[in-house]
Structure 1
């Protein structure tokens, strides 16, 4: 792990809001030259602190107006059933995130659908037929605000 100074944290906050911001624009904003800002960004990437840059896709604009978080408790436990479940669930295109978690449920899924009827179809025909699925709990997303989180 590398030590982060205030400028590094400022760069991380700015890039977490808009990863397309150029090193020149970041440098001007934080009192650095373009090469100095670029070197800091490359150092953060090399240290694994910046793990990639992503495009934010507006799911609603693509016709996916419903997001549901599913808690899945497997009916049977064991290495084979976990691997079989993970392989099968990652093949479902509507499943955007698969998280193996500790607690009441074994997995947490983020599922997108066009509407509630489409979600019901995905749930009944794809998710409930996965190997090992036992208990399922659904929470429909109403609103979401993404925050950059703590930066040291």
Structure 2
């Protein structure tokens, strides 16, 4: 029974009676297919913006200056920590205060890091960045992160020596 019904159904599909939409390819579909088959459009690379490199160097210089200020506070704290007596003693309290000042001396670097992030985001929203500019900003960020990690490690060592 099913085999007999199939030719009748197929004949019904072949009928051109009624107002049905054409299944032929539309012009937009033809254009899309042609676009997909054509080679991709290559855009020329964006030129580097010298001002981005200049700003990145300024951020690195500011981070290194902040590192110098931190180093002074760290050295004072390290000397106080080396002289610290038992927990709760006057020398231990003096060392704790010196370590707190060293921790506070990390703030300028955190400010520089935040300013670099803000600049990079604003600059990227303004216009697309050239690959060289992106690399410069990444390098500046990496340098600042390296300095911050060094400062944090030095503070941890001081705090560990006071907790013994």
Larger radius of gyration: 2
How does the TM-score come out when normalised to structure 1? 0.25
Higher fraction of strand: 1
Q: TM-score, normalised by structure 2?
A: 0.23
Structure with more contact order per residue of length (Cα contacts < 8 Å, sep ≥ 6): 2
